[in-house]
Structure 1
Amino acid sequence: MKSKKHHPSRSKYDRRPAQNPPVPVIGLEAEFTLLVDGKPRRPEMIFRDPRDFVRASMLPRTGKSYQLPTGGAVYFDTGVIEVATPIIEVGPGCCLRAVHSLWEQIHYIRGELDVLERVRGQRLDLCGFSAHYNVSFPAAYESATRSVGKLALLLCHMLPLPTMLLAANRESTGVGVRPRDGRIEITVDFTPDPELMAAAVSTAIGVSYEVMTWKSYELTQLTERSIPVIEGYKPRKHTSRKGWLARMDCYPRNPFTADVNATDWLCRDGQMRSLRGAAREIATPFASAVETMGDATTVEHALAVLHGRARSLLDFENRPPGYENVARERKWNRRRGRKLPLSNYERVIDRVVSKRPLWYKGIRYQPVQMVGWYEVAVREMRSGVRLVLTLDDLVSGE
């Protein structure tokens, strides 16, 4: 067992206000229930913290999380194991980079649990629980009529149907959109297939980022832009934190268990549509934005699902078994992700987690811990002086 160490606070280094990235970024999180010999257990009851199953020395972060050698973070959150990507700058292919990064973190954790299984003689499975897609809301877009709260409500009328088709399964219960501090967070079930997850993330982020550029976030945009909305649909308040949730009971009947191809859903414009057809009408006008966030293969996959040429998880009678043992079968296209260059922030974080020296204004520093997602506590290697630097401070010297 590894002994716990005190995580130094920001005030130990300096007292300047916390910094935020000057450019838009995205980040993904995934939550897993821990199954021990097939039974769900709270990870806090099995481990003191993630250091009990990760063998490598991990850089601490603020709070109770740790920086994985693969660049992401791991921590326990209310009975689940949560892994997260580093922040990645918005730009061409950024959603593919983020999904690739998330699965790198997942497979790293899976590998560490494989070793522990052999030591303990117990089966330890990661059961897919939920996923969060985060994207910055640029301050330049905000005004008296365009707030992140209004944006979240508008998106909660647009994102649920295509996200259901691309990310959910028949046991899912909802898709949420939460306004956070300077960002939008989309909450949905975990998707156990990396390629389908890439299509879901690219679509959700692509739609969200383009809608941010609209001149108005009022719900009247739905009618003005001919966006189909199920008659009787009324989102409810999110079950955690502020925001909105498209739960199964927000619709006239449960859309997650319905036949997604049956044209039996009355929409507000008086037309009958299938869930698949309505989702396709919502997403198709954003195909260019989706392709920018992913690539041509990603948008082709998303449109294939929405057109019925490829299967949605909602097409299966039951939730696929891959949810119960995520990443045991290592069947995913790592090579495709490796073709994508690391973003500037990822390159810095790669140096941070490997504990290699960092350069800033011609001076060498040793990384000590991550402070949030954008800042690094460092120690000057000659004088021992400590300070907090941003990823942007370190990009030019990395």
Structure 2
Amino acid sequence: MPDPKKGGGERAPGGGGRLALAAMGMEAEFSVTLDGQPVRPEDVFGSPRAFVRGNLMHRQGTSYHLPTGGAVYFDTGVIEVATPVIEIERGAAARTGRSLWESILYIREQLDDWESRTGREIRLTGFSTHYNVSFELPVEAQGRSRTVKKLALLLSYILPAPVMLLATNRRSTGVGVRPRGDRIEITADFTPSASLMIATATLIVGIVREVMTWPSFELEMLDRMGIPVIEGYRPMKHTSRKGWLAKDVCYPRSPFQADVDEQGWRTTDGRELSLRSVAGLIVKHFWHPIRRVSDPWTFRLIGSVMRGRAPSLLDLDDRPPEYEDVGRLCTWDNLFPESELSRSRYERVLIRAISGQKLWMHGRRYTPTGMKGWSAVVFRADDDHSRHVFSIDYLLGHLRDWERPRSRGG
């Protein structure tokens, strides 16, 4: 490992782009309405800097890091907000959901200020949420039956029913699973309930991480593990990038329009079940893995929705109006204050990097100047202005020093 005490050149202690710890992240996409008319944010603003004030760390293109640790950018007609990577441990999904909603509300506050300056009205309409879970299975442990592509296809048979109960609504059309090299990405509608979004993320992480331990990712594992599959269901190719989509047309009838408690879904093992029962049986199979990564409150919520004791959005007659004005009609109620759920270590590193907080390390002072993806921080040494790239895993070992900065020379 290069010695960071020596000056000159770019170096990345801790290795390349892969994270040392299993991690997750979330993204939310919003369509934009200006004075009641749908618009493309890039046409109205050009860049998020047009409405986000203050010092922001630039990533690339129209992408900027936010003080919350997340990022905002424009992506083909939508505003997208992303969380930093957060290591997977108990409560990880709650931390990730909190980070996402803090960024959403930060963007909403900046848009409120923009409205007051311009006299215009702008609304964010919930479009989609992406749930990312790292896939760090070593190549030697994969083999032909345990690739990330086969894992994604297998998950497209397991995840849709419980995700539908927690994250979709009457106007939804599908739940997707996409292999992204070193991660699995699950796509679904934006969920205006922060608690249901965190429950969805918790369920996804628990199931995905457990299925990764299976000896094979072939579809025959569904029967072997006793996972209920609706008869006639076949996932289709995802409409964006590679992957699979459990779309309404992939079922004998639309699960988004059906009564979730109506018996009438025949499974491949010959049973007649309701959609809620199919989802509940899948959750029951993964009950212990979900519990291992969940906070107690979210764990109870997942069980309550599956048993019908807490409402699913599919229990409503239509998509609720909160989708139409995110940040005002639906907001973050500080469900998990830091006094009850601390920030993750990765999150703490990234927040300090993005804020530009100087780091004393091995007798030298470094100023963060940028990021390389989500896995490394670019620094400038204050003494000779040399450029250094330190992985966030390496920086975890210096987090305590970063959180207790010295006052030498500012």
Establish whether TM, by shorter chain, passes 0.5. yes
Q: How many pairs were matched up?
A: 387
Structure 2 counterparts to residues 293-308 of structure 1, below 5 A: 293-308=293-308
Asked if the contact 2:91–2:293 (Cα under 8 Å) also holds between the matched residues in 1, the reply is yes
* Superposed displacement of residue 144, structure 1: 2.8
The 2-side partners of 1:200 and 1:13 are apart by 44
Q: Residue by residue, what CA displacement relative to the aligned partner does 1:239-283 show, whole Å, maximum 9, x if unpaired? A: 111111101111111111111110011111111111011000011
2:404 corresponds to which residue? none
Q: CA shift at 1:363, angstroms? A: 2.2
Q: Distance in 2 between matches of 1:54 and 1:292?
A: 38
Are 1:381 and 2:389 an aligned pair? no
Q: 2: CA distance between counterparts of 1:331 and 1:371?
A: 31
* Match of residue 93 from structure 1: 91
Please state whether the residue corresponding to 2:157 is helix, strand or coil: coil
Residue of structure 2 in register with 1:21 after alignment: 19
Contact residue 34 and residue 125 of structure 1 kept, 8 A: yes
Runs ≥4 residues deviating over 4 A: 15-18
State how 1:126-145 maps to structure 2 within 5 Å.
126-140=124-138, 141-145=141-145
Q: Equivalent residue for 1:391?
A: 392
CA–CA distance in 1 between the matches of 2:398 and 2:60? 24
Deviations 1:336-370 (A, max 9, x none): 24221111111111211211102444422111111
Structure 1 residues 256 and 165, CA gap change in structure 2 (3 angstroms): same
| TM-score (ref. length: structure 1) | 0.94
Partner of 1:366: 367
Within 5 A, what are the aligned runs for 1:105-254? 105-140=103-138, 141-254=141-254
| Cα RMSD (Å) | 1.6
SS in 2 for 1:32: strand
Conserved? CA contact 1:155–1:208, under 8 Å: yes
| Whole-angstrom distance in 2 between the partners of 1:249 and 1:335 | 36
Residue type at the aligned position of 2:186 = I
Contact preservation (8 Å) 2:11, 2:390: no
Give SS of 1:156's match: helix
- After superposition, the C-alpha distances for 1:49-73 in whole angstroms (9 at most, x for unaligned) are 1111111210111443110011100
One-letter amino acid of the counterpart of residue 343, structure 2: L
* AA aligned opposite 1:340: L
Alignment partners' CA distance in 2, 1:329 and 1:322 = 5
Q: Secondary structure at the match of 2:325?
A: coil
Which one is further off, 287-296 or 180-189?
A: 287-296
Between the aligned partners of 1:269 and 1:384, the Cα distance in structure 2 is 66
Match of 1:84 among 79, 82, 86: 82
TM-score, with length taken from structure 2: 0.91
Distance 1:395 1:286, change over 3 A: same
Q: Answer whether contact 1:177 1:184 (CA < 8 A) is retained.
A: yes
Alignment-derived partner of residue 51 in structure 1: 49
Alpha-carbon distance in 2 for matches of 1:362, 1:260: 62
Q: Is the 8 A contact 1:287 1:299 kept in 2?
A: no
Q: Distance in 2 between matches of 1:148 and 1:79?
A: 29
The 5-angstrom pairing of residues 322-333 of structure 1 reads 322-329=322-329, 331-333=331-333
Provide structure 2 residue ranges, at least 5 long, that are not aligned to the other structure: 1-7, 400-410
- Aligned partner letter, 2:25: G
**Secondary structure of 1:230's aligned partner:** coil
Query: d(CA) in 1 for partners of 2:125 and 2:81?
Result: 13
Quote the Cα distance in structure 1 between the aligned partners of 2:54 and 2:207: 39
Q: Percent same amino acid at aligned positions?
A: 50
Structure 1: how far apart are the matches of 2:36 and 2:77?
Answer: 16
